[in-house]
Amino acid sequence: MSLKRIGLLGGLLLAVAVLAIASLMAGKVWVPWSAWTGGAGDPRWAIIFQLRVPRTILGVAVGAALGLSGAAMQGYTRNPLADPGILGVSSAAALGAVLTLYLSLASSAPWVLAAAAMISAALGVVAMLAMAGTASGTITFILAGVILNTIASAGVALALSLAPSPWAAQEIINWLLGSLTDRSAADVQLALPFILAGCGLLLSLGKAFDALTLGDTGARALGVNLAAVRVVLAVGVGLATGASVAVTGMIGFVGLIVPHMLRPLVGHRPGALLLPSALGGAVLVLAGDILVRLTPAAAEVKLGVAMAALGGPFFLAMLISMRRRLA
């Protein structure tokens, strides 16, 4: 491992640690250092351990899952626009979760919603890869993702329009906007094992992604089993993205923004981009979650809304950069 890579990973780890500490302190009610040293009798301990700690853990885990999923999809497809949100994987996970809310299945057991989201996300990845084909180009792959996103979004809209009551519709809307607000230790216990499993599967594909830079034929010549890689990718993205969507709702653009920002720092190697993207995703989500808590509005801005507001200008900057290169 080169010194540059060690420095990058060390810097990202330091940023995660600093933001995690800030996340435990920041909010409508600030928790200063004195609350940590005041003992368990301090009433602010309830804020720290019942609200801030689960929220911070989920911020790190969900950010890492989304950043890593985006880098993995970009590495497999050799397409810099691949992202769970843009290509419909998050929408597919949301469709599975919304159906459990619509059918009132989620109230029976919390794991039902998470299972539906993860299965739907994995099926979405499989469907998108099947539509794109094994030798698809950039345009074909994007079109496959757009089709998946359109179908899944239409399903979500249909469930919302046919919601049995205004309260059910409001619950679906609040969940779709994406947020880490009021998440508990139960949410952490539900999502974290699946996120870790999905991230572990995706990190194991680094060498295969590097080989794929030579094309499918070159990767096969190096002994890469492309069918197995596709299965592991589908399961990994399904677990990581599905579990994230299940507990936070839809938070977009993390998997697109983070790999683009870090790719020049790793020598454009898809395999080397995976771990930095996971750490960078954690940094971005933690920073965004801290900022939405500090907004002066009476109600907290949804994290998914804030990420979407950030994603629009990022796309514009990408467009301007591409036009300058082509000019």
* Residue 35 forms part of a structural domain: no
The more confident residue out of 302 and 133 is: 302
* Residue 172 forms part of a structural domain: yes
Give the pLDDT mean for 102-120. 80
Q: Quick one: pLDDT at residue 66?
A: 94
CA distance 160 to 49: 34
Number of domains within the chain? 1
Give the least confident one: 11-20, 39-48, 147-156, 282-291. 39-48
- pLDDT tops 80 at residue 136: no
The token duo for 207 is: 């060498």
* Residue 1 forms part of a structural domain: no
- pLDDT tops 90 at residue 273: yes
- pLDDT tops 90 at residue 89: no
Question: Would you place residue 258 in the very low, low, confident or very high pLDDT band (cuts 50, 70, 90)?
Answer: very high
* Residue 15 forms part of a structural domain: no
Containing structural domain, residue 100: 51-326
Inter-CA distances, 51 with 31, 249, 316, Å: 12, 18, 36
Q: Quick one: pLDDT at residue 138?
A: 55
Give the pLDDT mean for 89-111. 82
* Residue 272 forms part of a structural domain: yes
Inter-CA distances, 21 with 10, 120, 219, Å: 17, 34, 43
Please, what is the average pLDDT of the chain? 85
Inter-CA distances, 117 with 149, 173, 254, 264, Å: 15, 16, 18, 33
Give the pLDDT mean for 76-92. 81
* Residue 105 forms part of a structural domain: yes
Do 51 and 181 meet the contact criterion of CB atoms below 8 Å apart? no
Range with top average pLDDT, 16-30, 60-74, 83-97: 60-74
The upper half-sphere exposure of residue 11, i.e. CA atoms within 13 Å in the direction of its Cβ, equals 11
Q: Quick one: pLDDT at residue 204?
A: 95
Q: Quick one: pLDDT at residue 130?
A: 82
* Residue 14 forms part of a structural domain: no
Give the pLDDT mean for 226-255. 87
- pLDDT tops 70 at residue 264: yes
Residue 301 DSSP one-character state: P
Residue 2, classed as helix, strand or coil, is coil
- pLDDT tops 70 at residue 216: yes
CA distance 63 to 65: 5
**CATH number of the domain that residue 130 is part of:** 1.10.3470.10
The pTM (predicted TM-score) of the whole model is 0.88
CA distance 261 to 264: 7
Amino acid letter at 39? G
Q: Quick one: pLDDT at residue 269?
A: 86
Instruction: Identify the burial level of 300 via C-beta atoms within 10 angstroms of its C-beta, where 0-12 means exposed, 13-18 middle and 19 or more buried.
Output: middle
* Residue 20 forms part of a structural domain: no
